[in-house]
Structure formats: structure tokens, C-alpha cells
Copies of this chain bind each other. A is one copy, B any other.
Amino acid sequence: MENKFLQKLIEPAHTKIAMIIMDGLGGLPLEPGGKTELETACKPNLDAMAACSALGLTIPVAPGITPGSGPGHLGIVGYDPIEYEIGRGALEALGVDFELGPDDVAARGNFCSVDADGRLTDRRAGRLPTEQSRELADILRTIRVEDVEFFVEPVKEHRFAFVMRGVGLGDALSDTDPQKVGVSTLPVQALNAKSQRSACITNQFIEQACERLAGRQPANMITLRGFAKFPVMPSYSELFGLRAAAIAVNGMYRGVARLVGMQVLPVEGDTLDAEFSTLEKNWNAYDFFYLHVKKTDTAGENGDFARKVEIIEEVDSLIPRLMALNPDVVIVSGDHSSPAVMKSHSWHPVATRRCSRCGRPGGVTSYGERACARGSLGILPAKDVMPIALANAQRLSKFGA
């Protein structure tokens, strides 16, 4: 649905919407005809929501499309991920709480290892400890090229966020990471005329980085990829009239939330318990809560079916704490599938449960992919979940007379 159309129908209300997103929730059976991770999990609390729930399967981006984390999250929080494409670089910068300006060009950086001839020997410099990355970042920060300002923010291990700030810098730039060892890193190429100057400046930065890191072990070079500016997007309050808060422990998801204008709330520690405590503590101050669970995706990407089941069961055990807050609408879903058997993100639609007072339950009690395929929400684009949540929260007026 066109966002602008929806915007005209938004009405103020005192209702509260909670969205619990288990990253990579969607799964597949280990053997043909078997149960998925979600179907396997014992989840009495989620199942008990049946009487007030409607089920469906959400398509994250489009049929057959496997989403990266950015598009996956944009979809489920209500934006068309094809219309609002976020580059990897912008996500990386957002993830380390960097305040990206509208003209800044960001990229994802790796510290890497090259041999005497400049050929890559390790694309991640042996997954360099974060502490060492910090030191190297300090060295890179001393680089100057013309009047452009550079920011180098360590992320984790060998990864860093790279940002350049200047006037008239385009972001249509090619990656320098050749994605394999035994060859040299690539020079940055401008992919359009407006990015010629950025390419030239980035190449000078890389040249100086190479000189300053020379002789260091194991990281003596850098790669940059996913050059991107911050996409211009309407905010949650503009679009949906919601004071929205995000609860997430991982940078990229905090970044996406900040991008759409959610307030990112502090979490003490990285446990699910801590995330639910943050939810409880801030319940009165916001209309909408996006609570992100990372570990389901990690387990899926590691091929650990049993661990993924365990995390889903842990989330289930925390549901009573959410329900005790008496939310008007609860969405339980995922941003995409990460089936353990595939060890990666996938395109499969995701089981989605919407619980509210004025919902129309579909007569299905269990919350799993098969059940959701027969649910009363049907199989729908992820971006359509927010309008349905708003309606159930009495936040949309009638269209037309």
C-alpha cells in the first residue's frame, strides 16, 4: 500500500502496539514432511493467544526474494524494501550509532592481510580482535585528503564503518573487496559521473591507509564495500502517527530503527530478559514497541536447529511479561526465514501472529508455518502488517464517505 494514502487516515489514539520480531524466524523441516523449528518448539504462551489471534504468512520483500537484514526489517516495520533500499555501508554506520548526515557516504570496511605483492591472504586478517581494530582505526583517522572529513568507527573484530563527509560526494562506487584471496584488492571505480570525485578521494584514502598499515601483522590493508548514503525516508511518527521505540541489542537493527525515526532504548546486557525489562520500564512512554530477538537468526545461520527451537521457547516463556502490560495489539513475527537446514537467510514466507481485541481468529490454534498458511490473514506482503496492526489499534479512520 502507498504510504501516503495511509498517512491521511491516521488518527490519534491511546492504544499500544508491541511487535516482537524473531530474526530469521521462518524455518524448514530437517527432513521432507517434518516439522520446522517453530512447529517443533513448545510454546504454550504463544499458543494460548489463539483465541484473540489471526495468523498469516508474510512475504518479506517479494515472492522468491531472499532479504538481507536491512530489507527484511524495513518490510516488517511497514516500509516497501524495494522502494527504500539501504546500502550496506549506511547500515554499518547506523549500527555503531554513527549520526550519518544526508550527504555522508558510508561503506563497510574490513581490516585484511596482504602479502608483499599486495595479494590478499586473509580477507578478515584472522578475525582481528576488536581491541586491535580500535588501534588501527585511530591510525586511519589521521589520514587527510583535500577538504573531506573521514570517520572510521570500529564495529567488531576486523570490521569497521567508514564514512566520508564533504560537498557533492556521490555514492555510486564499486567495492574494493575482490571476495577471494590470492588477488589484489580492487581500486574504487565511479559508477556514475557524480561519483568521480568520491572515487578519486577514496582511492587516495586507501593508498594512505596502505602506507600507514605497512609492516603491521596481521592487518596491513583495508577493503571497503557497500558504499551508500542514508536513504531519505518518512519517519514512523509522520507515517503512522506513532511514538515508536526500538529494543534491540545488535547494531544493525538499532540502525534500521533509528533510520525510520524510532527511539532506540538502552538495554542493560544482551539477554532477552534484559530486553523485556526495557520494554516494561518504558511501557508508558511510547505507542509502539519493536522488540528484536537476534539469536534465532544466529542459530539458523549456524545450522543449529535445536538451538533455534530453544530460543523460540525462551521468547515464549517471556510472553506473559508482555501480556501483563495489557497491550492492545501484539504482532509476533520474523523479518525473514533462516532455516537451519540452509544455514542462511531464505525467501520462505514467515509465520505471523496478530493478537488484538477486535481480531477475527481463524480457528487455528498452533503457531507454525503450516498453520499460518491457512490463517485468516492469508499470505501477505510483510509491509501490510503495520496497516493491519494500526487498524486493530483503532488508529485508522474510515476511507471515504
Contact = CB atoms under 8 A, between A and B. Distances in A.
Given A68-B399, A81-B399, A399-B66, A360 B384 contact: no
A305 B292 CA distance: 40
A91 B397 CA distance: 19
Interface in A1-35: 1-2, 5-6, 9, 28-29, 32-33
A376 B384 contact: no
A401 B65 contact: no
A65 B378 CA distance: 16
A2 B391 CA distance: 27
Contacts of A363: 370
A46 B238 CA distance: 46
Interface string A351-392: 000000010111100000110011111111000101111111
Given A65-B9, A82-B5, A399-B81, A342 B358 contact: yes
A76 B210 CA distance: 53
A52 interface: yes
A85 interface: yes
Copies in the complex: 2
A348 interface: yes
A358 B108 CA distance: 31
Nearest to A341: B358
Nearest to A59: B378
Contacts of A347: 388, 391, 396
13 contacts: A1-B65, A5-B62, A28-B358, A63-B388, A64-B391, A64-B396, A65-B399, A67-B398, A68-B399, A339-B358, A347-B391, A369-B376, A373-B378
A349 B347 CA distance: 23
B401 A87 contact: yes
A57 interface: yes
Given A362-B370, A373-B378, A400 B64 contact: no
Main secondary structure of the interface of A (DSSP, over half): loop
Interface string A40-82: 0000000000111000010001111111111110000000011
A294 interface: no
A352 to B, nearest CB: 12
10 closest A-B pairs (Cβ-Cβ)?
A64-B387, A378-B379, A88-B401, A68-B400, A64-B391, A71-B400, A32-B51, A63-B384, A64-B388, A373-B376
